Amino acid sequence: MAKEQLAYDEFMKGLWRENPVFVQVLGLCPLLAVTNSAINGLAMGLASFFVLLGSSILVSLFKSYIPKQVRISCFIIIIATFVTVVDYTLAAALPVIHKELGAFIPLIVANCLILGRMEAFASRNTLRMSVADAFGMGAGFLFALVSLGAVREILGVGELFGIALFGANFEPWVIMILPPGGFITLGVMLLYFNWLEEKKNKIDKQLATEDGVN
Amino acid sequence: MTQKDPKLLIQPGPQLRQQMTTPVVMRDVWYALTPATLAGIWFFGLGAFLVLLACIAGAVLVEWYFAPEEKRGYFLGDGTAILTGWLLGLTLPPALPLWMAFLGGVVAVGIGKTIWGGMGANIFNPALVGRAFLLATFPIAMTTWTAPGDFFTIPSSLFALPLMTGVVDTVTQASPLGMMKFEHVDTPFIDLLFGNTSGSLGETSGLLLILGGLYLWWRRDLDWRIPVGILGTAIIFSLILFMVDADKYPGPIFTVFSGGMLLGAIFMATDPVTSPLTQKGTWIFAIGIGLLVVLIRVFGGFPEGMMYAILLMNAATPLIDMYTQPRVFGRELDQK
């Protein structure tokens, strides 16, 4: 039971409390580059999710065999293997999306979020915990990509996953599908998350002092 | 910031109370803007007034919302939010849907000012940040100029529902700058002087803007070097171009009286927060704006360059301040 609790905790940590984008502010390059629509964000998020999960499992299994001195190169090779799998799979199954994402699929190799999880978590924890962590962080990244892509697509072209939402008279916010829109949306979301965090801290503090009085 | 109950009160010798506080200066700017604003409303009708109100509402709402609860009266009382919304409104086309104008006011104060830490901490002129956002977001609506028309006719595009396109039902007409750039048609000087042309709602009347500027100069709220530097540079630069090829390039008078040149030079570039502190720096700042405006207008893709010229020089202001710091009295230059 205790073990289960811990795994659940690791998952929620990645999805929300230490969200790779909104809290750790990692992996911004693909985030800003491909989130001009929700579907692109979803594809990128799933690709990163798969790579992260696969690499976490392998690294966690082989952690005792990987020499400390060359661990980063080993992680990179493992990650690159999964990226190649994703790259070819997407090219074969969804060529349109593969073309839209372009160079950013191969660039998942250099995503600091994935390498960071290998170094900080998978190479030091059991398989079970690593899988939970990869699920959490992958879901967190996916959540960030899709929500950013959705906001930008809704405001930028008035659609969500390609379905028109507002009818013919919609006035597109051109800036939202351009790079500045990505920065502005991300900035506003970071602001929101920081505000939530501050609010939560305030409540925690209040509860703590009330407990103290009692 | 004045304290009601100062902990420390130092009063050596007879002192003269400084009359120039932020609220006083801001109200002077209001008075200076009033004639040009009234002219804009007169030419473009009541709709222009509504656009202005929407901008001010957006700006004030954000200022109120993000101000600390106990200081809200103070934050709004200094009049900067209203001024930001007002200035933004003056740079917008008169038939802009109200929801866009409101959004512009929100962005101007929210992203232009509050995020940097409030008044005095922003790098860029807030009103122009709002306008730059609107121009990049709604490029078509922001460049649909209406001809001056009947006072009581309100364009129905104003009342477009949020997120919807406004359909402009009044007479549209290219602005003097657009006509010059794309069709090489000159606009009569008398129209540029009094403001009977299409354009942003507060920028058309050159004469009244200059009057406002003179009032501010007389009240010492304004550093005369900035408008003089900007206009002087623009005149000299455009005169040179005009002499090279009079058919191709607009003359200096047109350059000064068309578009947002006067509004920007007198009311926006002179924002004390975003312009350099030293006299030397101020000249560099002003000459830079003058050069950039003419460069963008003549050689760039846009017909108007005032907004980008000011924003670019705003970005250069910290650098200018760093290099033009005067020598501390009694010290060598290289000693710091």
Task: Tell me the per-residue pLDDT of A116-169, one tens digit each, with 9 for 90 and over.
Answer: 999 988 888 889 889 999 999 999 999 999 999 999 998 888 888 888 888 777
> Quick one: tokens of A55?
């690499």
- CA distance linking residue B63 with residue B83, whole number of Å: 12
Nearest CA in chain B to A176: B137
B72-87 burial by CB neighbour count: b if 16+ within 10 A, else e? Answer: eeebeebbbbbbbbbb
* Contact between residue A109 and residue A70 where contact means Cβ atoms under 8 Å apart: no
Q: Is the model more confident about B188 or about B227?
A: B227
Alpha helix segments (H runs only) across B96-150 = 98-110, 126-137
Band (A214; pLDDT cuts 50, 70, 90):
low
Q: Domain residue spans in chain A? A: 2-213
User: Is B147 domain-assigned?
Assistant: yes
In A, minimum Cα distance to B139 occurs at: A174
Position B60 scores a pLDDT of 92
Q: Which residues of A touch B133 (CB under 8 A)?
A: 175
The proportion of chain B whose per-residue pLDDT surpasses 70, expressed as a percent, equals 92
Q: Is the CB of A173 less than 8 angstroms away from the CB of B133?
A: no
Residue B50: partners with Cβ closer than 8 Å, 6 or more residues away: B98, B154, B158
Find where tokens 């893709």 sit: B301
Q: Which amino acid is at B319?
A: L
A89-93, B3-7, B212-216, B290-294: range with lowest mean pLDDT = B3-7
Nearest to A195 by CA among A27, A28, A23: A23
Residue A7 has pLDDT above 50, yes or no: yes
Q: Is the pLDDT score of B316 beyond 50?
A: yes
Position B184 scores a pLDDT of: 67
Domain count, chain B: 1
Q: Does residue B129 have a pLDDT over 90?
A: yes
Tell me if chain B has a CB within 8 Å of the CB of A33: no
Q: What is the mean pLDDT of chain B?
A: 84
A160 touches chain B (CB under 8 A): no
- Could you read off the pLDDT of B141-162 as tens digits, one per residue? 888 888 777 777 777 777 777 7
In a domain, B222, yes or no: yes
ipTM > 0.90 (yes/no): no
User: Which residues lie below 8 Å from residue B220, measured CB to CB, with a gap of 6+?
Assistant: B20
More confident residue, B323 or A2: B323
- Mean pLDDT lowest for which of A2-6, B197-201, B244-248? A2-6
Tell me the chain A residues in contact with residue B97 when contact means C-beta distances shorter than 8 Å. 171
pLDDT category of residue B127 using cuts at 50, 70 and 90: very high
Q: Is A182 in CB contact (< 8 Å) with chain B? A: no
pLDDT tops 50 at residue B112: yes
| CATH number of residue B97's parent domain | 1.10.3430
Q: A177 touching B, CB under 8 A?
A: no
The answer to the question of residue B334 being in a domain is no
Q: Is residue B10 part of a domain?
A: no
Facing residue for A171 by CB, picked from B111, B136, B163:
B163
pLDDT over 70 at B335, yes or no: no
Residue keyed to tokens 């009977």: B196
Q: Which residues contact A25 (CB under 8 A, 6 or more apart)?
A: A190
Contacts of B163 in chain A (CB under 8 A): 158, 166, 170-171
Segment B313-335 mean pLDDT: 81
CB contact A178 to B (< 8 Å): yes
Residues of chain B found within 8 Å of residue A183, distances taken between Cβ atoms: none
A4 pLDDT above the threshold of 90: no
**Residue A201: CA count within 13 A, CB half-sphere:** 7
Residues comprising chain B, all counted: 336
- Taking an 8 Å cut-off on Cβ atoms, the answer to whether B138 and A176 are in contact is no
Q: Which residues of A touch B160 (CB under 8 A)?
A: 169, 171
- Asked whether the predicted pLDDT for residue B190 surpasses 80, the reply is no
pLDDT the model gives residue A92: 94
Helix (H) / strand (E) containing A113: helix A112-117
Give pLDDT, residue A1.
44
B165/A169 Cβ within 8 A = yes
The dihedral formed by the CA atoms of B182, B183, B184 and B186, expressed in degrees to the nearest 10: -110
**Residue A174 is nearest to which of B137, B160, B164, comparing CB atoms?**
B137
Q: Does A157 touch chain B (CB under 8 A)?
A: no
Q: pLDDT value at position B327?
A: 74
In a domain, residue B8? The reply is: no
pTM, two decimal places? 0.85
Q: Best interface-test mutation with A: which of B102, B163, B167 has the largest number of A CBs within 10 A?
A: B163
Across the interface, whether the CB atoms of B165 and A173 are under 8 A apart is answered no
Residue A205, min C-alpha distance to chain B (Å): 20
pLDDT given for residue B227 in this prediction: 92
* A174 CB within 8 Å of a chain B CB: yes
| pLDDT top residue among A106 and B202 | A106
Q: Terminus-to-terminus CA distance in chain A, angstroms?
A: 32
**pLDDT tops 50 at residue B1:** no
- A171 touches B: beta carbon within 8 Å: yes
* pLDDT per residue as tens digits for the range B26-42: 888 889 999 989 988 88
Query: What percent of chain A has pLDDT above 90?
Result: 36
Residue B304 belongs to domain spanning: 22-323
Nearest CA distance, B22 vs chain A (angstrom): 29
Question: What is the structure's pLDDT at A168?
Answer: 75
Average pLDDT over residues B44-69: 90
Please compute the mean of the pLDDT values over residues A91-97 and round it to a whole number: 91
Q: Answer yes or no: is B61 within a domain.
A: yes
In tens, the pLDDT along A14-67 reads 887 888 888 888 888 888 888 888 898 999 999 999 999 999 999 999 989 999
Q: Which residues of A touch B132 (CB under 8 A)?
A: none
Q: Is residue B1 part of a domain?
A: no
pLDDT for res A212? 63
Compute the average pLDDT of residues B218-223: 85
Percent of chain A with pLDDT over 70: 96
pLDDT of B336: 47
**Cβ within 8 Å, pair A166-B160:** no
Structural domain includes residue B12: no
> From chain B, which residues contact A within 8 Å (Cβ)?
97, 100, 111, 115, 133, 136-139, 141, 160, 163-166
